[in-house]
Amino acid sequence: MAAEEQIEFRVYNSMTHEKEIFKPKVPGKVSMYVCGVTAYDFSHLGHARAAVSFDILFRYLKHLGYEVTYVRNFTDVDDKIIKRANETGEDPLMLSKRFCNEYDVDMSGLQCERPSTEPCVSDHIEKIIEMIQQIIKNGYAYEVDGDVFYSVTEFPSYGMLSGQRLDHNRAGERVAVDTRKRHPADFALWKKAKPDEPRWPSPWGDGRPGWHIECSAMSACYLTHNFDIHGGGIDLIFPHHENEIAQSWAANKESNVSYWMHNGHVTNNNEKMSKSLGNFFTIRQITERYHPLALRHFLITAHYRSPLNYSISQLETSSDAIYYIFQTLQDCKDALSPLLQVDTERSENLPQINEAAKDCIKKLSVEFQTKMSDDLQTPVILNGALLEALKYVNSSLKLLKKKMQKRAQLQLVQSLLETEKEVRKVLDVLGLLSSQSYDEVLQQLKGKALTRADLEEVDVLHLIEERTQARKDKDFPKSDKIRTDLAAKGIALMDVGNETIWRPCIPS
């Protein structure tokens, strides 16, 4: 579809506050740096949202044919890590390593592809020291008694990303000003070692890097001073990204990021969900009760820049949507596999797919291309032509069960195959397919539904038997009650022929 391939990809640039046509610095290649987590505890929904948002960008860029270098760091040297390690008596780097591994487990459950590189601060101290030396040499930082501070007043464009003005940023109004700083907003590039802290030798004595410098140093190390996309959560705009810009520019005047991209907050009762407010959920807490794919679906039901309010009912809806998607794909596989095996002449003389399938595929393909290319509008994709295509698959599967002429059957099979292919393509870019089989995912979704209902499958099967007996006894109030009670817990009973089966549902 040549016309659709010409649609330009537009992304919202936090620096210009505009959607801009995406043009990489090197044709065909994209370099992208995203700020990762400070690893000292299990990651929460806010981390999941950032990871999924940029995973979708990563996948879509690859779908557009770009070769993408995606760097996402781990902060393994930080005040919070040291504090936690002191509480638990663990070595700070070991504690951090442990939570980096837990983060990887969460990310793989959420179907986030691994970035090309995941550098840690502790492996890049040399690069960080080199950059600080360069910044001092260029006149933008100063050393005081083993600490090195960045001098914000030396950088005329300080505040260019966040719009924060220096006079609005007087640290002294809230906390005691470090009197050794030339300006209250000056920030640490290097911190002198305190007792019981991880430390590395440096030209300024033993110490460790400040937080902001790591991303300037590691992005330059892997992507050079000039790269395409820098991403992270919206709360990183100030001071983290503002300080990164100041540092990178001070080290190298050529440094430039083309697009700054930020994902919105996760909120709880419309208040920002954060560790400091204590109103957060870890990814693990959610995935104990909901399938990680349901969580991923939930995370992309809002546009990545909008706030996303945590909602059990939306998680139930997302869980139901994932079940519907996987059940449809499984049904399609079950129905088509035997037909494809017996038909040895399929490759020759295939009929054209029917008009309904043609319409579905075209609509889905156009909507996917236009909406994803308009700053990744995932909510539109989830609710629009994708659902229509799945409906088409389900209605065609019903039709396929009826008696029909061989040629008509062949056409329907071909129509189903091609619609399913388009559906899978879209789901793949959204990261909503799994490396596991459809059936495995369906079983896992049923398992989570049972957990939420606080039931074992054997309990449900027993209740099904009881209901069957009640119906035989014509005790309909009892049989209805069993069904209604289970539906209220998110377990739907369905009578298929002489059999009763169950599947998860949104609790009634």
Among 11, 15, 34, 35, binds Zn ion (CB under 5 A): 35
Nearer to Zn ion, 35 or 148 (CB): 35
Task: Quote helix, strand, coil % in the chain, to nearest 5.
Answer: 50, 15, 35
By CB under 5 A, how many residues form the interface with Zn ion?
2
Q: Sign of the CA dihedral 439, 441, 442, 447?
A: positive
User: Least separation, in Å, of the C-beta of 129 and Zn ion?
Assistant: 18
Instruction: Please give the Cα distance from 507 to 313 (Å, whole number).
Output: 9
Residue 493 interacting with Zn ion (CB under 5 A): no
Nearer to Zn ion, 244 or 316 (CB): 244
SS3 assignment, position 400 = helix
User: Least separation, in Å, of the C-beta of 238 and Zn ion?
Assistant: 13
Binders of Zn ion in range 193-222 (CB under 5 A): 215
User: Least separation, in Å, of the C-beta of 452 and Zn ion?
Assistant: 36
User: Least separation, in Å, of the C-beta of 239 and Zn ion?
Assistant: 11
Binders of Zn ion in range 376-405 (CB under 5 A): none
Estimate the crossing angle of helix 406-430 against helix 355-372, to 10 degrees.
Answer: 10
Q: Are 271 and 246 in contact (CB under 8 A)?
A: no
Q: Are 50 and 232 in contact (CB under 8 A)?
A: yes
SS3 assignment, position 473 = coil
User: Least separation, in Å, of the C-beta of 241 and Zn ion?
Assistant: 7
Quickly list DSSP for 272-341: E--TTTT---BHHHHHTTS-HHHHHHHHTSS-TTS-EE--HHHHHHHHHHHHHHHHHHHHHHHHHHHHHH
Binders of Zn ion in range 241-300 (CB under 5 A): none
Instruction: Please give the Cα distance from 380 to 362 (Å, whole number).
Output: 16
User: Least separation, in Å, of the C-beta of 215 and Zn ion?
Assistant: 3
Nearer to Zn ion, 262 or 291 (CB): 262
User: Least separation, in Å, of the C-beta of 232 and Zn ion?
Assistant: 6
- Binding window for Zn ion (CB under 5 A); candidates: 32-40, 154-162, 303-311, 461-469: 32-40
Nearer to Zn ion, 35 or 389 (CB): 35
Q: Taking CB under 5 A as the rule, which mask of x and - marks residues 157-196 in contact with Zn ion? A: ----------------------------------------
End-to-end CA distance of the chain: 44
Nearer to Zn ion, 35 or 325 (CB): 35
User: Least separation, in Å, of the C-beta of 214 and Zn ion?
Assistant: 7
Instruction: Please give the Cα distance from 433 to 59 (Å, whole number).
Output: 13
Q: Tokens for 153, please give them.
A: 């007043």
Task: Name the residues that contact Zn ion, by CB under 5 A.
Answer: 35, 215
